Amino acid sequence: MVQLIYSWLLAFRFKTLTAAFVPVLVATGLVYKIQGDTIQWWVSLYALGAAFCIQIATNLFNDAIDFKKGADDETRIGPKRVTQSGLLKASQVWMMALLFVGLALFLGYFLVLRGGFPIVLLGLISLFMAYGYTGGPFPLAYLGLGDLFVILFFGLFAVCGTYFLHMLEVNTASVVAGVQMGFLSTTLIAINNLRDSGGDAKVNKRTLAVRFGDNLVKWEIFALIAITYLLNLFFLVAYNQLYVLLTYVLLPLGGLLVGFVFSVTDKTHLNKALGLAALHQVLFAIIFTLGIVL
């Protein structure tokens, strides 16, 4: 039983759930700045629950599909995958993925009652892309479109969608914040693709690292982090949100991450960079949200 629980926790990839958490956190901060104590907290809680379910379903589909396509094998240098390692059967992973899709639909029902057709459309596309990220006739991750997908769905759409559920409209601040959160989430994907470029090339998984080389992805990571910090100036100029600049205390951490990515020669060490990127993402989102609220 203990081994089974461990296997499922491994399959869920809890470290990646930061990508689902930070957009909801930031959007809620933007709403709280306007509504104060009248904010409807249940909206953010249901949105967070749905986001977690979609993220976990995506991870499970990815685990089973990548193994089937040969992207995950015994030469893999990244974290252990449960299907490839034999901890769980592919059929089990698929059934659990569908269960989380069902949970997302259940939570989404209440969000649709609040937000109407735009949330129906966004929810259905998000659920489809949980599978379409690595599966289907046009898998985004295999076409080099995974980075764009993450910017949109774990950044722009997630922040703007949560904001819309509260305010029934979208403003410029939610769009800019959505881009920032999307860039930080994409940093995780870029590091992952950089680490796996050798194995991905063998199975024709045409990530940006495979298409254009590792060096371009290193500069992509630098640009994603640098632009995220530069966009803080929008909140200073447009909304006079001086406290948002508190995020600049994390610049040394961001610089450390970029320096590590550029200097690493043994790609197995990039697993540490993933942890560092997740930490940077969460800390940035928390400080950013506090800066908005203050």
Mind listing the pLDDT tens digit for each residue in 110-163? Answer: 999 999 999 999 999 998 888 888 887 788 888 889 899 999 999 999 999 999
Q: Is the pLDDT of residue 60 over 80?
A: yes
pLDDT-derived band of residue 73, with 50, 70 and 90 as boundaries? low
Q: Is the pLDDT of residue 173 over 70?
A: yes
pLDDT, average across residues 226-243: 94
Q: Is the pLDDT of residue 78 over 70?
A: no
pLDDT, average across residues 243-247: 94
Please report the pLDDT score of residue 143 as a whole number: 87
Percent of the chain with pLDDT over 90: 68
pLDDT-derived band of residue 250, with 50, 70 and 90 as boundaries? very high
Highest-confidence range of 12-16, 88-92, 94-98, by mean pLDDT? 94-98
Better pLDDT: 141 or 30: 30
DSSP H helices, 70-171, are: 82-85, 90-115, 117-132, 146-151, 157-167
The rounded mean pLDDT for the chain is 91
Q: Against a cut of 0.75, is the pTM above it?
A: yes
Better pLDDT: 248 or 146: 248
Quickly count: other Cβ atoms within 10 Å of residue 102's Cβ: 13
